[in-house]
Amino acid sequence: DAGITQSPRHKVTETGTPVTLRCHQTENHRYMYWYRQDPGHGLRLIHYSYGVKDTDKGEVSDGYSVSRSKTEDFLLTLESATSSQTSVYFCAISEDSVNYGYTFGSGTRLTVV
Amino acid sequence: GQSLEQPSEVTAVEGAIVQINCTYQTSGFYGLSWYQQHDGGAPTFLSYNALDGLEETGRFSSFLSRSDSYGYLLLQELQMKDSASYFCAVADNQGGKLIFGQGTELSVKP
């Protein structure tokens, strides 16, 4: 009964191929976020969404695109995967204000070979 | 832009008290949050401070001083299960998106 799920959980892909990661929520939260986590860098914001079809760039958006056609789904696409995009990707959701806290998904471990 | 600094590692013994500091530089500031992450799993929300002072939630407390751009997370009566990474994060005042520090790995020893 998790309110947020990410798929796939693990993926290995080849350099140069497109990859799409999916984040699905059942909480009807307005805000959705994609972060990547790498050793020594903490969590870095890639893109975020503040409503259907409303998205914006984060700190490390180069090489990534997102789409949100429904409240419940936020897709992250690596247009042409590179080895530097090997990482753990976390999706998060939140209500109107940050004081309620983000709820994170379990993450997608992506390896680009 | 925004940047946050926190110690990379802290070690403490079971039953003790530990404080994890966080200093930040931001162009806009809406609040300081803390998150816990076990073994690379999903980070979980611990606390949020928008105003100066101490917020207490059970064994965990969080403090903020806006004038000093400084905050800390205080963990009391440490337990082995508190071994985890702890992240501070700041929200800017545009859209509420969080920028995270690099995390502090807390090791609790018997």
pLDDT, one tens digit per residue, over B36-70 is 999 989 999 999 998 999 999 899 999 999 999 99
CB pair distance less than 8 Å for A105 and B42: yes
CB pair distance less than 8 Å for B91 and A59: no
pLDDT band at B72 (very low <50, low <70, confident <90, very high): very high
Cα A28 → chain centroid:
17
Tally Cβ neighbours within 10 Å of residue B16: 12
A41, A97, A106: residue with CB nearest B102: A41
**Cα gap B61→B105, rounded to integer Å:** 18
Q: Provide the pLDDT for residue A2.
A: 65
CB pair distance less than 8 Å for B43 and A90: yes
Q: Provide the pLDDT for residue A39.
A: 86
Going by C-alpha positions, the residue among B41, B3, B42 that lies closest to residue B22 is B3
Q: Does B43 touch chain A (CB under 8 A)?
A: yes
With a pLDDT cut of 70, the percent of chain B lying above it is 95
Cα A63 → chain centroid:
13
Q: Provide the pLDDT for residue B95.
A: 60
Vertex A55: Cα angle to A67 and A2 (nearest 5): 65
Q: What is the mean pLDDT of each run of 10 residues along chain A (113 residues)?
A: 89 97 96 93 93 93 97 97 98 80 95 98
Q: Does A44 touch chain B (CB under 8 A)?
A: yes
CB pair distance less than 8 Å for B98 and A56: no
Q: Provide the pLDDT for residue A99.
A: 67
CB pair distance less than 8 Å for A101 and B48: yes
Q: Provide the pLDDT for residue B82.
A: 98
Residues of B in contact with A104 (CB under 8 A): 42-44
CB pair distance less than 8 Å for B41 and A94: no
Q: Provide the pLDDT for residue A1.
A: 53
Q: Provide the pLDDT for residue A41.
A: 82
**Cα gap B36→A76, rounded to integer Å:** 24
B43, B91, B102: residue with CB nearest A98: B91
Three-state secondary structure string covering chain A = CCCEEEECCEEEECCCCCEEEEEEECCCCCEEEEEEEECCCEEEEEEEEEECCEEEECCCCCCEEEEEEECCEEEEEECCCCHHHCEEEEEEEECCCHHHCCEECCCEEEEEC
Best mutation target among A33, A99, A108 (most B Cβ atoms within 10 Å) is A99
pLDDT band at B33 (very low <50, low <70, confident <90, very high): very high
The phi and psi torsions of A78 (rounded to 5 degrees) equal -95, 110
Residues of B in contact with A44 (CB under 8 A): 100
Three-state secondary structure string covering chain B = CCEEECCCEEEEECCCCEEEEEEEECCCCCEEEEEEECCCCCCEEEEEECCCEEEEECCEEEEEECCCCEEEEEECCCCHHHCEEEEEEEECCCCCCEEECCCEEEEEEC
Task: Quote the mean pLDDT of chain B.
Answer: 93
pLDDT band at B26 (very low <50, low <70, confident <90, very high): confident
